[in-house]
Structure formats: C-alpha cells, structure tokens
Homo-oligomer: A and B are copies of this chain.
C-alpha cells in the first residue's frame, strides 16, 4: 500500500512518514507541490496526503491536478487553516477527507484506513434498480413486476436498463439509439419504437399503473407516479 506525502514542513513530513512506515505502508515524501505532482505521476499510489500550504503549487491546485489524471485515488487534505471555507474549497477541488493540524497520528491513521477501506469496497454496489413495483437486477438480469418474474431478451433488457437508469427523465430516441444500439446517426429505422412496444407488452400490459410513457416529439420516460 503506497502513500504519497506532500508536505513542506520537514518535521511534520517525517512524523507522518515514520508513523506510516511503522504501520506497514510504503511512503514517498515531496516537499513542494510541483515535485509532488511529478512523483505522483511517476508512481502508482494508493493514497495521497496533501498539505494545503505548499511552495510552487498549493494543495488545492495540486489536488485538482491529481484529480484530472486520476479520478479515483483517495486524497486527504491537511492544513493549519481551519475555516469552513477552507474545508469546502478542499472538498471542491476533489479531496475525500480533511484533517486539521495539529492532529494525533492515531486519527490520521484511522482516516487513512477508512479511506482505503472505502475505495477497496467499491465493487460492492447496489445492483438492483427499482421503479415503483418493478425491479431489475443488473447482475442476474432478472426482472420482476410485483411478484411475477418477467423474461426479457438482451436488447429488451438493455433498453429497460437505460430507461430505468434515467427514470424520471424523458430520453430522446437519439439518446436511446446512441446508448443502446450504438447508432450515432439517423438510419431511419424504427427499432426503438418496436422495442418499446415489446417492453410495454411484457412490463405494462395487464397492470393498472403504466410505467413507460411517451412524450410525443420528445421521447420516452419511465416513472412511477
């Protein structure tokens, strides 16, 4: 587990480095923002600890720079400034957590572990999407309306998934064509209409509450109310 520490005060940097090393992390230290950026790009880091007050490139700027090349790596901001505005600025630039100096090492460690735990757990997502009494399971590809199971073909499922992921929004045929059929120009086909019809037969037919609605001239929408 590799951690990059960007901190210009040598004492603080050494303090963090020693503590992390004792807890079996690999660390690298950069003493200014510019070097921090270079080191980050050269290595594969699992987490970044960032002081806000840095020479060359301040923490906020560095944070944005890191985010622009890596949207995922957890970033923990460190600073002496304590106003709420500073914190908000930190979060806005893409930081995931914020710790005020002076801090106890145990708290830093706890926050690092929490951040790492979170990023490791990402794959466990909620893979069941719902609209009213309709449930669609992205993993097992199972679809249920109320208690009854519904069998969908691949394309039907893709279309339904797209609609449900945009529930409450009217999606245009062009959107659907691009996202579900991967058509980027108008081929003059009516497949979409046909498949919406298929879906309606399987999902809405026989139910009082229709979920799929047409907005003429605009597109289709799935919603519950």
Known: A140-B168, A154-B216, A170-B140. A107 touches B88 (CB 8 A): yes
- The closest CB in chain B to the CB of A74 belongs to B118
Task: Find chain B residues with CB under 8 A from A106 CB.
Answer: 84-85, 88
Judged by a CB distance under 8 angstroms, whether A17 is at the interface is no
Per the 8 Å Cβ criterion, residues 60-84 of A in contact with B are 71-72, 74, 84
Q: Report the interface size for chain A: residues with CB under 8 A from the other chain.
A: 47
Chain B proximity of A70: nearest CB distance (Å)? 9
Determine if B91 and A141 form an interchain contact, defined as CB atoms under 8 angstroms apart: no
Copy total for this chain = 2
Judged by a CB distance under 8 angstroms, whether A201 is at the interface is no
Determine if A217 and B140 form an interchain contact, defined as CB atoms under 8 angstroms apart: no
A108-132 interface mask toward B, CB cutoff 8 Å, 1 = contact, 0 = none?
0011011001111110111000100
Determine if A218 and B140 form an interchain contact, defined as CB atoms under 8 angstroms apart: no
Q: What are 17 inter-chain pairs, A to B, with CB distance below 8 A?
A: A72-B124, A72-B125, A74-B118, A84-B104, A84-B107, A87-B107, A88-B107, A91-B111, A95-B114, A96-B118, A118-B118, A119-B122, A139-B169, A140-B169, A140-B221, A141-B221, A153-B217
